[in-house]
Amino acid sequence: MKKITISILLLSSLTLGACDSSSTAPEKNKKETSTTKITEKTSATKTSTSTESTSDNKKTVYNLGEWWEVPNQWKLKIDSVTSTDERNPYSDKSPQQVVIISYTYENLGYEDDIQDLFIMPENVVDSAGIMGETYPVSTTGAKPTPVGATMSGAQAAYGVQNPGGNIKILFKKYDSNRTGQAATFEIPVQ
């Protein structure tokens, strides 16, 4: 009985396998090719849209206390960038300087199905052009902020290798329309 069952299963799988590979291979390749073309066109469209919307910002570099506003979405400003002597004894990072970036943002109309407006610096670049890294010290973290509310006193800590001078703080965020928005702040460390 076992031999008959095994034989039937083996014969069925060979028959179905042979039919599948010979009849759908060309169709599958056609579908993959057309899907690839559609994906490439969509990517190209998204890239041009992101570039256009990012370049629409009137100002490219913002200073301390200046607002970066994305109409009907949000506005953000840097309140201060201060150096701290606090170090985390459990961190394996050893930066030359740790800076705390304090900032404020207001939700002017940003809505998302998953989370309210939440903004943090994307990157920090020190005075010598070296990328900084997030650093674990005591800060007041940003919070998801609903429409009409303001997140005041949000903080982020970064370790940099070249103390002093100005640092660049880069923010990137997709708006409610899924359009990429970006701003750079150049701020002196206090």
Give the residue among 68, 101, 71 at the shortest CA–CA distance from 84.
101
**Per-residue pLDDT, 127:** 94
What is the CATH number assigned to the segment(s) 59-188? 2.60.40.1240
- pTM metric for this prediction: 0.69
Residue 52 pLDDT > 50: no
Q: 188 forms bridges with which residues in the sheet? A: 166
Q: Give CA–CA dist 158/136, Å, rounded.
A: 8
β 180-188/61-62 pair status: parallel
Residues 65-112: pLDDT tens digits? 999 999 999 999 999 999 999 999 999 999 999 999 999 999 999 999
Q: How many C-beta atoms lie closer than 10 Å to residue 108's C-beta?
A: 15
End-to-end CA distance of the chain: 85
**Per-residue pLDDT, 39:** 40
User: Cα dist. 48→43, 51, 54, 149, 155 in Å?
Assistant: 9, 5, 10, 32, 32
Domain ranges of the chain: 1-56, 59-188
Over range 36-61, report the average pLDDT: 47
